[in-house]
Amino acid sequence: MFHHFHGQGHPKAPGSISRSEFEGIIRLLDPRRILDPIEWFEKLEGGRLADADVCLTFDDALLCQFQVALPVLEEYNLRAFWFVYSCVFEAHVAKFELYRVFRCNYFSDVEDFYRLFFEKAFGLEWGDKARAVLEEAEIARRRGIFPFYSVNDVKFRLIRDRALTRSAYELLMDAMIRERGLSLESLATGLWMTNEHLRYLSERGHVVGLHSYSHPMVLAELGREEQVREYERNYRHVSSVCGKRPIAMAHPGNSYSDETLEILGALGIRCGFRANMFPKGEDGLLNPSRLELAREDHANVVRML
């Protein structure tokens, strides 16, 4: 599972990797093991996937993926799954990605951002709730699942997702951005792919799949009607641009419920990916269903290089 890359005008940021690191991952995995997405999907449906079989996936429709990673894939004659959320193709910015650009590129380091964010969050009317969600056991649990997160990475996400409402979080972040003399429009420049990029990928044998419409941070907490809208709008966009019915998806923020799986099944989605390799459910299964397939984050693979 890949997200951010640096190079080709895209700045280095926590969690991003370079072209050479990406190529190192491909060599480490062995290109002969990496299946085309359609072959991988057909083997999944036929119950013929071997332990050595690997597929590559890219989330969030980021332009850096197209400009930095795709040329490497083409050199090795490899194809991948690309999971996109659709709002950014329809002139709506995805603020969570802009906020990432802000915290990674406009402070001396990300810890400098966290210091300011915590100071402001604790000083607001939600301050007591923000402190209450920072339970040591939950911080340890999340770091066990995502070992590449620092303690402050986890604290930030807990406050964002559990203490603040979406509107409160956006008001806080938008105010911080204005204080730095920036705008959302300036942060969005050169960040996402266009429909032409999606068509290019689809026409060359890559699989473009769903990742919701607006990438809610905790999609599972949305009502059924909202979830239906998220995925139906995403489905219509991808199918109209690529001229193909989407068959695959990845859960945004690793957030979904049994209701989400029902909605995806009704849309004809036949395989879905989670965002970690942590066993799930009472039975502790790595892949509880074809709509809940585990993925290894590239940050963990980079450590092996």
Looking at residue 281, what is its pLDDT? Answer: 77
Give the number of other Cβ atoms within 10 Å of residue 37's Cβ: 23
- Give the tokens for residue 119: 């100071």
Terminus-to-terminus CA distance in the chain, angstroms? 16
The secondary structure element, H or E, covering residue 234 is: helix 224-242
Looking at residue 14, what is its pLDDT? Answer: 87
pLDDT tier, 112 (very low <50, low <70, confident <90, very high otherwise): very high
Please give the share of the chain, as a percent, with pLDDT higher than 90.
87
CA distance 78 to 57: 12
Looking at residue 223, what is its pLDDT? Answer: 96
CA distance 9 to 147: 29
pLDDT digits (tens, 9 = 90+) for 126-160: 889 999 999 999 999 999 888 889 999 999 999 99
Span 258-276, average pLDDT:
97
Nearest of 107, 57, 109 to residue 80 by alpha carbon: 57
| CATH 3.20.20.370 domain extents, the chain | 19-93+192-302
Whether this prediction's pTM lies above 0.85 is answered by yes
Nearest of 178, 169, 177 to residue 105 by alpha carbon: 177
pLDDT digits (tens, 9 = 90+) for 46-93: 999 998 999 999 999 999 999 999 999 999 999 999 999 999 999 898
The CA-based dihedral angle spanning residues 170, 114, 276, 296, taken in that order and rounded to the nearest 10 degrees = 120
pLDDT digits (tens, 9 = 90+) for 225-238: 999 999 999 999 99
Say whether 271 sits in a helix, a strand or coil: strand
Between 3.40.50.880, 3.40.50.1000, 3.40.50.2300, 3.20.20.370, what CATH number should domain 19-93+192-302 receive?
3.20.20.370
